Amino acid sequence: MATVTFDKATRIYPGSTKPAVDGLDIEIADGEFLVLVGPSGCGKSTSLRMLAGLEDVNGGAIRIGDRDVTHLPPKDRDIAMVFQNYALYPHMTVADNMGFALKIAGVNKAEIRQKVEEAAKILDLTEYLDRKPKALSGGQRQRVAMGRAIVREPQVFLMDEPLSNLDAKLRVSTRTQIASLQRRLGITTVYVTHDQVEALTMGDRVAVLKDGLLQQVDTPRNMYDKPANLFVAGFIGSPAMNLVEVPVADGGVKFGNSVVPVQRDALSATSDKTVTVGVRPEHFDVTTDSDTGLGVVVNVVEELGSDAFVYGTAQVGGEAKDLVVRVGGRDVPEKGSTLHVVPRAGETHVFSISTGERLSD
Instruction: Say yes or no to pLDDT of 262 above 80.
Output: no
Judge if 221 and 165 occupy the same domain: yes
- pLDDT at position 79 is 93
Number of domains in the chain: 2
% residues pLDDT > 90 (the chain): 55
- pLDDT at position 236 is 93
Judge if 221 and 252 occupy the same domain: no
Domain that holds residue 83: 4-231
Tell me if 236 is assigned to some domain: no
Tell me if 361 is assigned to some domain: no
Q: Which of 231, 255, 283 is at the close of a domain?
A: 231
| Spatial contact of 77 and 157, defined as CB atoms under 8 Å apart | no
Tell me if 357 is assigned to some domain: no
Tell me if 226 is assigned to some domain: yes
Please, is 172 exposed, middle or buried when counting C-beta atoms within 10 Å of its C-beta (0-12, 13-18, 19+)?
A: middle
Peptide bond between residue 343 and the one before it cis (omega within 30 degrees of 0): no
Instruction: Say yes or no to pLDDT of 145 above 70.
Output: yes
Q: Which of 181, 197, 231 is at the close of a domain?
A: 231
Q: Which of 231, 262, 285 is at the close of a domain?
A: 231
Judge if 152 and 269 occupy the same domain: no
Between CA 335 and CA 345, with CA 340 as vertex, the angle to 5 degrees is 135
Residues 278-288: tens digit of each pLDDT? 999 999 988 88
Tell me if 359 is assigned to some domain: no
Confidence band, pLDDT 50/70/90 cuts, at residue 176: confident
Judge if 191 and 284 occupy the same domain: no
pTM reported for the whole predicted model: 0.89
Tell me if 360 is assigned to some domain: no
Judge if 274 and 150 occupy the same domain: no
Residues 91-104: tens digit of each pLDDT? 999 999 999 988 98
Judge if 318 and 183 occupy the same domain: no
Instruction: Say yes or no to pLDDT of 1 above 70.
Output: no
Judge if 314 and 345 occupy the same domain: yes
Confidence band, pLDDT 50/70/90 cuts, at residue 300: very high
Instruction: Say yes or no to pLDDT of 174 above 90.
Output: no
What number is the average pLDDT over the span 282-306?
88
Quick one: which of 170, 238, 223, 230 has its CA closest to 34?
Answer: 223
